[in-house]
Structure 1
Amino acid sequence: MAFISLCILAMLVLATVGAARPWFSHAHEVVHAGMALTCGAAAVAVLARLAANDSGVETLTLPIGLPWLHANLRLDALSAIFLLAVNLGGCLAAVFGWSYARHDAEPGRVLPVFPLFIAAMNLVLVADDAFVFLAAWEFMSLSSWLLVLATHREDETRRAAYVYLVMASFGTACLLLGFGILAGASGDYGFAAIRAHQLEPVPASFAVLLVLLGAGSKAGLVPLHVWLPLAHPAAPSHISALMSGVMTKVAIYGLMRVLFDLIGQPLWWWGAVLAVIGAVTAVVGVLHALMQDDIKKLLAYSTVENIGVIVIGLGLALVFKASGVPALAALAMTAAMLHVLNHSLFKSILFFSAGSILTATGERDLNQLGGLIHRMPATALFCLIGAAAISSLPPLNGFVAEWMLFQAVLNGPLLEQWELKIGFAVIGALLALSTALAAACFVRFYGIAFLGRARSARAEQAREVDPVMLTAIAVPAVLCLVIGVLPKLAISLIEPVNRLSVGEGMFDAGGHGGWVWLAPASAFGNSYSGFMMFMTILILTILAVYMIHRYASNRVRRSIPWGCGFTDPAPLGQYSASSFAQPIRRVFVSQLFGARDIVDMPAPGETRPARFELELRDPAWDWLFTPVVKLVGWIADKVDHLQFLTIRRYLTLMFLALVTLLVLVAVSQ
């Protein structure tokens, strides 16, 4: 705990160095190198703790904060697994930002806030009382808001920052009220006191609802996700990777800290509601991602989908824990935690790749890219690994987590409640649908961006980025492969989290399977071996290459390739991003999102170009946020006359408010 505190302090010092950039010419190098080393050291420290299967608790009390509370910090297994994700992501972002930030016209806007953002996330994860937690949470929100505003000269940035700030304030208010209920009448906001204070079902349910709203808005759960596809693309690419791949996990941590630690014994329907929200979030998020032509918006909506997958796992774990089946709870929890680590890795790959594309071409529109596999081969290779991993293709890490999650869903019929038997089937169907659509989404993303012919002059002139940026992309790509081939290495790190949150490790009941086979005891004999899958794919690939080179003719043959009816070699004859998504849009999105194709086709003989426009609305704006905005505006208009009252009337209102509060206090005693 003391070492993590020192790392947070070092980040704050580096922030002051970044603020001194106008007077210190080497501030850029010092901040990025310092953050890479500090985050790397913190990640190694918590990795060593988790690898040692250490389930102990370390605490630290600092003489700051509220006078009677001070600042209580705590490091346990749950904090450690999220600290690993945060600091590994921070280390990679610092390495990537070393080179990427040099292309920024105004790097001084990011440099001092970047360390503050990562320090705030670390502080949230080690907070052991509500005051420190909420103060760090708000610090995290404000620092990330400033990072979004770093590109304030772009048209959409100011609106994105405004929506983000409003949603962040709403989330903090919900968390504040939720912790107030958890603290109870004693008003002790220390987490130890909250654990000791068991609530009745009704107030506990209200607290869970408020925490779900507060943390869910930060994580991007539907329908509170509207800020995420606006804010994440607006930030610089290495900051987008942190916000999308890491900050959303801090929100998941806040949800888990309450549901699996502070609240006590859960009710089964809390988990059912959570799993349903996660399933809806996964499907809505991936459908939105499929419709996006902006690569950073596509990746932001993909984060919504992956958060939904994680929340499904948490919901199932909560249901199994409340139903007294800890082995299955551990299985679902392992799937969720593994996906937390996985998503932080492959989303870093994809956002870093988007940053590399933006550096090389200046374009974010898929329809202006194409053919980059020939001009940026290393980026194309690493991005392919990230796209395959997020599409849950074996033998990469994304497949392992979703395989385990499906194993947990298939065990749903073991539960007694008929509502859960039916609900698990529906959740499994939605999970399968979101997985298939995610694969289609990233086939579209990778195919349009990297394959085919260049669709613009900028894409034609693109060149590979420098080795520093490639290193930041290569490291998580290698980790995606290692975790996919040897998943037991990562799962062993999650076992202390399982014992803390659900009371049992995944392999405590047997079913180990050695280091090659992944065979949970609760999976009804099912097993999976990433190593065997990798070796099978490798052998078949080598065999196919050998057969082609051994028996194929060496004679050069030239012919017109089949081009879907288009033999014109012009780039405009290729499939566009919109045409690739059109079948899925017509099946799913037209009714759900009110999608409408507007085609302006010139009559025969006219020389003007044809025009295509897609109208797409997020129903969350129409059904929730727009009515709320109108209601707030109406209330504001009605109470506007209060600012013109006389002193006598103001004193009367204050007196009535005081009397009302005294009556409420008297009634509550």
Structure 2
Amino acid sequence: MSALVGLSCVGAFLGVALLAVLIGRSRDVTVAVYSACLLISLVGLVAALVHLLGGAPASDVTLPLGLPWVGAHFRVDALAAFFLAVVNLGAAAASVYAIGYGRHEPEPQRVLPFIPAFLAGMNLVVLADDAFSFLLAWEFMSLSSWALVMAHHREEGNARAGYVYIVMASFGTLALLLAFGLLAGPDGGYAFAAIRAHGETPLRAGLVLALALAGAGSKAGLVPLHVWLPLAHPAAPSHVSALMSGVMTKVAVYGFIRIVFDLLGPAAWWWGVPILSIGGGTAVLGVLYALMQSDLKRVLAYSTIENIGLIFVGLGLALAFEANGFRTAGALALTAALFHVFNHALFKSLLFFGAGAVLVATGERQMDRLGGLIHRMPVTSLTFLIGCAAISALPPLNGFASEWLALQAILLSPQLPQWGLKLLVPAVGALLALSAALAAACFVRVFGIVFLGRPRSAATKSAGEVDDWSLGAMAALAALCVIAGVLPGLVIDGLAPVAQAVVGARMPAQASLEWLSIVPIAESRSSYNGLLVFTFIAASASLAAYVIHRFASHEVRRAPAWDCGFPDPNPATQYTADSFAQPIRRVFGTFVFRATERIDMPAPGDMRPARIDVTLHDLAWELVYEPIVRAVSFAAERLNRLQFLTIRIYLSLVFFALVFLLLVLAVWP
């Protein structure tokens, strides 16, 4: 893929955005805008795949824009090509879905101009090859996505979600601005090629690493910088939520990889320690937060935090291995992280599409008002089930393949010479295993409450299947989840150029192995065959169905579910989302959420209903952000007095400030 093709796609997206503004009230503008976005995304996707799989050399373009002494540099290498493929694959799927879903948008003119602008911003971030262009594209991506979050600003909570998001986005941009300032140095070499040319001192490298973690981590959703994500993602329209969760967070991962693996120079072993620690904690806390939610889209948003934590664990392992010279192990860890980047873009987009379909069919996002949709929305139920199984890392789907690779990389950690890493990596591996188990419980809960059982509301009883465009997008992503899980070797080989460019090594070629197995390091150590697992599961299930129907009954009978001898047809007697999560809340809630329960149990003969009130606390918000809010409010109230000073005092302050600056210049060495 040439950089010129990528820039042409960006220009086309911006043209579509302008067109949406000019004809925003036309009758068929929704179909036209999303069809154009689909076409442009497919062009970008095909070009990126051709560049990545064809082994093309890096392509550069310099435009006479940006900083006068730098210009605007754009470049496509293997790393950029992979992330451009992820961005445009997610954009194409969202565009297909939105052709049908967008017809239900009450005010399309609030959404249509910003969708192509958002896609242009994400592509431009990946294409940028200098600090100024990168930051400009990053801020453009943030502002356009903020406008999409605010599209339904009249709904309760959405305005606050937009405010928190823009504040955190501004913080992230400031952190990246400082990081690039340190990387550029006093000479102001803001082009990435100039940054690569000079090394960094250990102190400066540590500062850049911390700033990159803060800047990219705030956009990706690392704990405790995650507070905007569960607010903003549910507030946006569902196809926008899919783009933000499945794609935009991966652009943040790209920014981190570009800075830390590429621009910062040779890695030190200790760089992996904070990344591994934050990644492991993020994975567990994200899924625990998800288990406590009853809003379907908030569950999916918190689940994104868990998956981002898993990706950063892989990146931290890759840094640790690379710094110690174990490049093959580093390639395995990096491939696991990049594979999960691709996988998460697939199944998280699929799940948000499914949540949007449920919202269109029922008007409900609260899981406790849903239920029984498997009979009314069979295609959505099947595709959503595949997404749930994939995100739960169940074989033979794609989520299992990437998490299995990550665990294989963790098993290589005894090779590391530093005792800090020897102790930390197995602990992080235990956190990943715990998060995988909790993720399975989380999505058993989601699918069971939303699609199984009996309808809990009138709207759910009358629900029907959604439009064919939405179903087609969900079916395509579900098929990709199955294919990437059954044939993971094809994806691993596709990622080999990226690993070779970033860490200087790659995993063994997988396509030449017998029976399409995948082997992380050597066949004698471990291997996995998704095709055989898929064949075994399909054969076992088919045999079980045949035996049941052959020897038990030839007919399908439908009868009420066993109700413990209490024949009450009221759907309120079913398990709720909160009751499903109660055992896990009682195990982890006291420590993680400071959870408290207050039970009101009437005495015998008292006909009042029993009540249980559960209070959960977001410790990240209460311990980190609320003190900052109080400090800012306190300082603002004190500084507000400056508005009421006399002109004499103002002139005196200016005089003393000038004297102070002159003294600083006089004593400056």
What is the aligned residue count?
667
Please give the alpha-carbon distance, in whole angstroms, between the structure 1 residues aligned to 2:183 and 2:337.
25
Please give the alpha-carbon distance, in whole angstroms, between the structure 1 residues aligned to 2:288 and 2:564.
26
Please give the alpha-carbon distance, in whole angstroms, between the structure 1 residues aligned to 2:663 and 2:44.
52
Distance 1:12 1:579, change over 3 A: same
Return the offset for 1:212: 0.8
Task: Tell whether 2:23 aligns with 1:18.
Answer: no
Bigger CA drift: 607-616 or 359-368?
Answer: 607-616
Please give the alpha-carbon distance, in whole angstroms, between the structure 2 residues aligned to 1:662 and 1:266.
41
Residues 87-102 of structure 1 aligned to structure 2 (within 5 Å): 87-102=88-103
1:7 paired residue among 5, 9, 13: 9
Cα pair 1:327 1:522 within 8 Å, conserved: no
Distance 1:422 1:662, change over 3 A: farther
Return the offset for 1:268: 1.1
Q: Where does residue 469 of structure 1 map in the other structure? A: 470
Return the offset for 1:94: 1.1
Matched residue type, 1:277: I
Residues 260-659 of structure 1 aligned to structure 2 (within 5 Å): 260-507=261-508, 513-514=513-514, 516-521=516-521, 525-554=525-554, 561-564=561-564, 566-654=566-654, 656-657=656-657
Please give the alpha-carbon distance, in whole angstroms, between the structure 1 residues aligned to 2:598 and 2:66.
57
Cα pair 1:60 1:72 within 8 Å, conserved: yes
* 3-state SS in 1 of match to 2:65: strand
Return the offset for 1:22: 4.2
Return the offset for 1:621: 1.0
Distance 1:452 1:256, change over 3 A: same
Task: Tell whether 2:54 aligns with 1:52.
Answer: yes
Please give the alpha-carbon distance, in whole angstroms, between the structure 2 residues aligned to 1:298 and 1:557.
34
Bigger CA drift: 582-591 or 60-69?
Answer: 60-69
Q: Kindly provide the CA deviation profile for residues 499-526 of structure 1, in whole angstroms up to 9, marking residues without a partner as x.
A: 1111111127x99634611012268610
Cα pair 1:21 1:28 within 8 Å, conserved: no
Q: Kindly provide the CA deviation profile for residues 510-563 of structure 1, in whole angstroms up to 9, marking residues without a partner as x.
A: 996346110122686100011111111111112112222222244898987533
Matched residue type, 1:572: A
Please give the alpha-carbon distance, in whole angstroms, between the structure 1 residues aligned to 2:156 and 2:107.
16
* 3-state SS in 2 of match to 1:426: helix
Q: Kindly provide the CA deviation profile for residues 336-368 of structure 1, in whole angstroms up to 9, marking residues without a partner as x.
A: 000000000000110000000000000001111
* 3-state SS in 1 of match to 2:294: coil
Q: Where does residue 235 of structure 1 map in the other structure? A: 236
Return the offset for 1:668: 6.7
Return the offset for 1:60: 0.5
Distance 1:560 1:476, change over 3 A: closer
* 3-state SS in 1 of match to 2:189: coil
Residues 69-80 of structure 1 aligned to structure 2 (within 5 Å): 69-80=70-81
Cα pair 2:549 2:555 within 8 Å, conserved: no
Q: Kindly provide the CA deviation profile for residues 35-55 of structure 1, in whole angstroms up to 9, marking residues without a partner as x.
A: 01101110111112212233x
Q: Kindly provide the CA deviation profile for residues 16-50 of structure 1, in whole angstroms up to 9, marking residues without a partner as x.
A: 11112345333222111000110111011111221
Distance 1:376 1:9, change over 3 A: same
Cα pair 2:172 2:214 within 8 Å, conserved: yes
Please give the alpha-carbon distance, in whole angstroms, between the structure 1 residues aligned to 2:195 and 2:660.
29
Please give the alpha-carbon distance, in whole angstroms, between the structure 1 residues aligned to 2:130 and 2:140.
16
Please give the alpha-carbon distance, in whole angstroms, between the structure 2 residues aligned to 1:530 and 1:189.
45
Residues 75-86 of structure 1 aligned to structure 2 (within 5 Å): 75-86=76-87
Distance 1:132 1:658, change over 3 A: farther
Please give the alpha-carbon distance, in whole angstroms, between the structure 1 residues aligned to 2:659 and 2:494.
56
Matched residue type, 2:413: G
Cα pair 2:364 2:370 within 8 Å, conserved: yes
Q: TM-score, normalization: structure 1?
A: 0.96
Distance 1:667 1:252, change over 3 A: farther
Matched residue type, 1:380: S
Task: Tell whether 2:73 aligns with 1:39.
Answer: no
Structure 1 unaligned blocks of 5 or more: none
Cα pair 1:602 1:610 within 8 Å, conserved: yes
Cα pair 1:512 1:521 within 8 Å, conserved: no
Return the offset for 1:165: 0.8
Return the offset for 1:603: 4.2
Cα pair 1:511 1:520 within 8 Å, conserved: no
* 3-state SS in 1 of match to 2:516: coil
Q: TM-score, normalization: structure 2?
A: 0.96
Q: Where does residue 153 of structure 2 map in the other structure? A: 152
Q: Where does residue 121 of structure 2 map in the other structure? A: 120
Residues 168-179 of structure 1 aligned to structure 2 (within 5 Å): 168-179=169-180
Cα pair 2:489 2:511 within 8 Å, conserved: no
Cα pair 2:37 2:95 within 8 Å, conserved: yes
Distance 1:557 1:102, change over 3 A: closer
Please give the alpha-carbon distance, in whole angstroms, between the structure 2 residues aligned to 1:668 and 1:551.
92
Task: Tell whether 2:62 aligns with 1:61.
Answer: yes
* 3-state SS in 2 of match to 1:613: strand
Matched residue type, 1:46: A
Bigger CA drift: 191-200 or 543-552?
Answer: 543-552
Cα pair 1:486 1:530 within 8 Å, conserved: yes
Residues 200-279 of structure 1 aligned to structure 2 (within 5 Å): 200-279=201-280
Matched residue type, 2:112: L
Return the offset for 1:442: 0.2
Distance 1:642 1:611, change over 3 A: same
Please give the alpha-carbon distance, in whole angstroms, between the structure 2 residues aligned to 1:511 and 1:105.
49
Return the offset for 1:392: 0.3
Bigger CA drift: 6-15 or 524-533?
Answer: 524-533
Return the offset for 1:643: 2.8
Return the offset for 1:110: 0.2
Return the offset for 1:658: 5.1
Return the offset for 1:565: 5.7
Please give the alpha-carbon distance, in whole angstroms, between the structure 2 residues aligned to 1:273 and 1:63.
39
Distance 1:519 1:556, change over 3 A: closer
Matched residue type, 2:35: A
Return the offset for 1:660: 5.2
Please give the alpha-carbon distance, in whole angstroms, between the structure 2 residues aligned to 1:154 and 1:522.
55
